[in-house]
Amino acid sequence: MPFPDAKILDQRDPLAHLRDRFALPDGLIYLDGNSLGALPKSVVERMQTVVGTEWGHDLITSWNKHDWIDLPRRVAAKIAPLIGAEPGSVIVADSTSVNIFKLLAVALAERSERKVILTEQGNFPTDVYVAGGIARLMGRGHEVRLATADALAEATTEEVAVVMLTEVNYRTGARLDMPALTRRAHEAGALIIWDLCHSAGAVPVDLAAAGADFAVGCGYKFLNGGPGAPAFAYVAPQHQGGLRQPLQGWLGHEAPFEFAPDYRPAEGVDALRAGTPPILSMSALDAALDAYDGVDMHAVKAKADALFDLFVREVEAQPPSLEILTPREAERRGSQISLRHPEAYAVMQSLIARGVIGDFRQPDIIRLGLTPLYLRYADVQRAAEILGEVMRSGEWDRADYKRRAKVV
């Protein structure tokens, strides 16, 4: 079967116009939006306004004049439809790691008679680290238990207080079955927290329909909010009554500007707030989310799947030196493709030198993000061709490509 003509696919692409919403460097094929999203053009103008006018001219009056104080709610309201969250169930604050800590504390308090936090073996390290940290902090015999993806349902026993899972695996791109695993957690009497760092803005997510209890996610990958962009947290409506978390900062108070000596948590998800919101980075995320205006996430996933299939066909036409780790079944993967090679780091560096930007994950994984809002079929096809050229020529086999940088 002949490969599809990438130019024709681009001409027929219903999402093609979205590329114009991004500032993309000439001469590069950017396949790392699953690690740091590209810069939306809207962010540049917004930052000029926030820095030059709101901060530079209006100074502290902007907390009221430009409603900085409620920016976390406004940004959350843009994220909520992308993750299938009910109105008023999302807040933007802090980092993913901090939000995991807060939600684990809430969930463990709700299941205080149980001591096990269950997560996937191979989950993103920060999730496991935070779970271990809070287990030690509680000092009451809590433990973190790991299970492989295919054993998670069986491992969800009546000992488990909280199941904490990342929907799309950061290394392989494999996607867990959110509705089924959420249902299994509830059958066992456990609560569940979903990490959506590689899901939000990449695949259709419906937390409400799945019955999820809690969720977290970052703002700098597929949501394109910029390096270190604030994260978000979700709390299902049934868990919001009396919500209380341990990081009792002043903006989580029901009346922060009373400066009362006693802490009274705000109602609903506002109780997850702690300190002063980072207005510059949150404003960047706010503007970046406008790139999703009018975008159907099912169309985004359909294009991601088509980009994946195109890349796979091109790679499989090359010498068989690369193993494809990402599941072939569309419903079982996110929006990336991961390839295994013993010298994956060097191969990735040689691709970067050729203008194809992706990344490497230990121990031997080439990871390439497929971001449909700004990637063209021609980009993906050309990237696969360059990968084939690199593998055939052996140009990756150079000492400077094998020298590890601080950030890999």
Task: Pick the closest to residue 160 from 171, 173, 151 (CA basis).
Answer: 151
Q: Does 403 participate in catalysis according to the annotation?
A: no
Is residue 71 within 8 A of residue 283, CB to CB? The reply is: yes
SS3 track for the chain: CCCCCHHHHHHHCCCHHHHHHEECCCCCEECCCCCCCCEEHHHHHHHHHHHHHHHCCCHHHHHHHCCHHHHHHHHHHHHHHHHCCCCCCEEECCCHHHHHHHHHHHHHHHCCCCCEEEEECCCCHHHHHHHHHHHHHHCCCCEEEEECHHHHHHHCCCCEEEEEEECECCCCCEECCHHHHHHHHHHCCCEEEEECCCCCCCCCCCHHHHCCCEEEECCCCCCCCCCCCCCEEEECHHHCCCCCCCCCCHHHECCHHHCCCCCCECCHHHHHCCCCCCHHHHHHHHHHHHHHCCCCHHHHHHHHHHHHHHHHHHHHCCCCCCEECCCCCHHHECCEEEEECCCHHHHHHHHHHCCEECEEECCCEEEEECCCCCCCHHHHHHHHHHHHHHHHHCCCCCHHHHCCCCCC
Is residue 232 within 8 A of residue 207, CB to CB? The reply is: no
Indicate the residue type of 288: A
Task: Pick the closest to residue 175 from 69, 35, 305, 329 (CA basis).
Answer: 329
User: Which positions ≥6 away from 16 have C-beta within 8 Å?
Assistant: 10, 376
| Options 22, 124, 308, 360, the catalytic residue | 124
| Options 220, 232, 234, 377, the catalytic residue | 220
Is residue 336 within 8 A of residue 326, CB to CB? The reply is: yes
| Options 13, 367, 377, 401, the catalytic residue | 367
List residues bridging with 336 in a β-sheet.
Answer: 369
Q: Does 345 participate in catalysis according to the annotation?
A: no
Q: How far is CA 204 from the centre of its chain?
A: 13
Q: Does 101 participate in catalysis according to the annotation?
A: no
Q: Does 367 participate in catalysis according to the annotation?
A: yes
Is residue 244 within 8 A of residue 106, CB to CB? The reply is: yes
Q: Does 220 participate in catalysis according to the annotation?
A: yes
| Options 21, 46, 114, 221, the catalytic residue | 221
| Options 32, 195, 359, 379, the catalytic residue | 195
Please identify every residue annotated as catalytic.
Answer: 124, 195, 220-221, 367
